[in-house]
Amino acid sequence: MNEKTTRRKHPVRTGIIAGSAALALLLGGGAWWAADRFLIEHVEIADVSAYEASLAATGEGAEAEPDSATEGVVSGSSYTDGATSVDVTTVTTGTADDTLTYYVAEVTLSDATRLRSAFAKDSFGENIIETPSAIAESVGAVFAINGDYYGFRDTGIVIRNGVVYRDEGAREGLAFYTDGRVEVYDETTTSADELLADGVWNTLSFGPAIVEDGAVVDGIEDVEVDTNPGNHSIQGEQPRTAVGVIDENHLVFVVVDGRSPGYSRGATLPELGEIMAGLGATTAYNLDGGGSSTMYFDGALVNDPLGRGTERGTSDILYLAW
């Protein structure tokens, strides 16, 4: 298989995903339940930015350490502001219908709290969505990827920017600590308050872990994330998003395009694990994929999430700001 690596910036591509809950409401019965569960917004916390700021001011939430860098420099597909840097590359392997295209962002952080999370419409709850680019632009992100789409479900431990939003342990999660550690953990054996007390800054609840101790995890092709319709099956060749840990405050993010024969077929979970391990990740974790898989850098989409230059709405992102 031939492989080529290029560094380039892609043009901005925008899309609008719209849904109509009203139609479902007219149908009643099961349609009403489906609309309420999967379409209608359920806002639990509006103005998350103000909420997090108020908790930090009162000492109830973790507070990010101030960073000495105030402005960064973007050059091509790289960004730096002192000890924090992002380097984005495009990798293409294979030919014809076996072509696989993915995007790698190697990230070094001056401080673990530079990696932040943001919610769609700056609100926490179920079925609240915006395109990843729109969320990224609203927080001034220089780099972002889609998160775990927490709003599609009502389970999982959700800690973001040092604030607890949900404590319903259900699966294998990923925890980012303020000291730079990133660890896979069992949500069902702990609580959000315990994690926060131990110094957790952000959690993600999707999975599974695809690399442990530098090796691809056995059996990941058979894992089910949860039982929600349309989300429990993550097998086969799909668009993918993953985060890997190379060392403390040294991360690698990968977004794989898919469902586009001749451009990118998508990757299986074992293939994604092999990619992450090959990039030096000792630990790697699968995030929401499919049409959600998105990488954003310096005001533009890097990848092609839906194979036609458009994005799908999602509930959250991980990002680095200026």
CA–CA separation, 89 vs 102, rounded Å?
9
The pLDDT tens digits for 143-152 are 999 999 999 9
Q: Is residue 33 part of a domain?
A: no
Strand partners, 167: 157
pLDDT at 230 over 60: no
Q: Is residue 113 part of a domain?
A: yes
Average of pLDDT values for 257-263?
93
What DSSP letter does each residue of 43-97 carry, written as one string?
EEES-HHHHHHHHHHHTSS--PPP-S----EEETTEEEETTEEEEEEEEEES-GG
Q: Is residue 39 part of a domain?
A: no
Q: Report residue 211 as tokens.
A: 């690399």
Number of domains composing the chain: 1
Distances 253 to 61, 106, 129 between C-alpha atoms, Å: 27, 6, 22
The pLDDT tens digits for 29-61 are 667 766 776 678 999 999 999 999 999 888 888
Half-sphere exposure of 79 (CA within 13 A, CB side): 23
pLDDT at 15 over 60: no
pLDDT at 11 over 80: no
Q: Report residue 306 as tokens.
A: 């839906």
Average of pLDDT values for 131-144?
97
Compare 234 and 270 and report the one with higher pLDDT: 270
Nearest in space to 114 (alpha carbons), one of 87, 84, 154, 71: 84
Compare 246 and 69 and report the one with higher pLDDT: 246
Q: Which residues have CB under 8 Å from 58's CB, separation 6+? A: none
Residue pair 249/282 in contact (Cβ under 8 Å)? The answer is: no
Q: Is residue 13 part of a domain?
A: no
Average of pLDDT values for 288-292?
93
Q: Is residue 145 part of a domain?
A: yes
Nearest in space to 226 (alpha carbons), one of 290, 313, 154: 154
Q: Is residue 96 part of a domain?
A: yes
Distances 144 to 5, 113, 135 between C-alpha atoms, Å: 21, 14, 9
Q: Which run of H or E residues covers position 273?
A: helix 269-278
CA–CA separation, 226 vs 228, rounded Å?
6
Average of pLDDT values for 236-252?
96
Start-to-end C-alpha separation, the chain:
38
Q: Is residue 24 part of a domain?
A: no
Q: Is residue 207 part of a domain?
A: yes
Tell me which residue range forms the domain holding 81.
44-321
Q: Report residue 315 as tokens.
A: 């509930």
Tell me the whole-structure pTM to 2 decimals.
0.86
